[in-house]
Amino acid sequence: MRILVVEDDKDLNRQLVSALTDSGYAVDSAADGEEGYFLGDTEPYDVVILDIGLPKMDGISVLEQWRRANRVMPVIILTARDRWSDKVAGMDAGADDYVAKPFHMEELLARVRAQVRRATGHAKSEIECGPVRLDTKAARVTYDGQQVKLTSHEYRLLAYLMHHNGRVVSRTELVEHLYDQDFDRDSNTIEVFIGRLRKKIPSDMIETVRGLGYRMQAKAEPQKSDEV
């Protein structure tokens, strides 16, 4: 999952990026409204964390322009605790949630997880696909109750497929949602990570759909024969 943080406070921006990265997300950040608007308008994000009081372009204007351009990614706005009018303006502009400053980082992370779940149609923090279970709160994967040791990129890939289980996900989509802006993106690395995952969970749970991408499912469907 890929997150955009738009926050002009350098310390808070850094703390947010660090906490989100540690939680298994790929994270891009911007320090002003113009840069944040450009990234949100040109890159695909699973969630955006958007401060309202930004230089160059305020957060409400950024959000309004995204929504006018039919950018539908979930947006969590950051507001000052005593500015209830900002909260109302943010929600009216198209925000999905808000967090008042100062806030506990765990609360914000929980709200991010909730937005990701809602966007992908999951109600619980634990996502199950056959014997494989993803605990989004702990960023932990188990197979038949035993923890599966994964690298950060393996975890991001498996988590994305499990959030979208049953749907074919193209390599392009995976690349766009698993790597931050500065990462040297190469779709061939997806095949490498898929191969590694298939050695750690039942290999037939990640189906290759030729020419289209990959699909995560509890059990791979039997291949149809062309023979009569």
User: Per residue in 93-124, pLDDT tens?
Assistant: 999 999 999 999 999 999 999 999 888 888 88
Q: Examine the domain organization and report whether 25 and 44 are in the same domain.
A: yes
pLDDT of residue 221: 45
Task: Inform me whether the pLDDT recorded for 224 exceeds 60.
Answer: no
**Please, what's the b/e burial string for 192-225 (b: 16 or more CB within 10 A of its CB; e: otherwise)?**
ebbeebeeebeeebbbeeeeebbbbbeeeeeeee
- Residue 203 belongs to a domain: yes
- Residue 132 belongs to a domain: yes
Instruction: Quote the domain boundaries for residue 7.
Output: 2-120
Question: Hey, what's the torsion of the CAs at 7, 9, 15, 17, to 10 degrees?
Answer: 30
With beta carbons less than 8 A apart as the criterion, state whether 160 and 1 touch.
yes
Q: Examine the domain organization and report whether 54 and 90 are in the same domain.
A: yes
The residue whose two tokens read 């994305």 is: 160
Report the domain count for the chain.
2
Last residue of a domain, one of 99, 120, 141: 120
Give the length of the chain: 228
Task: Inform me whether the pLDDT recorded for 7 exceeds 90.
Answer: yes
- Kindly report the pTM of this predicted structure: 0.83
100-114, 134-148, 178-192: segment of lowest average pLDDT: 178-192
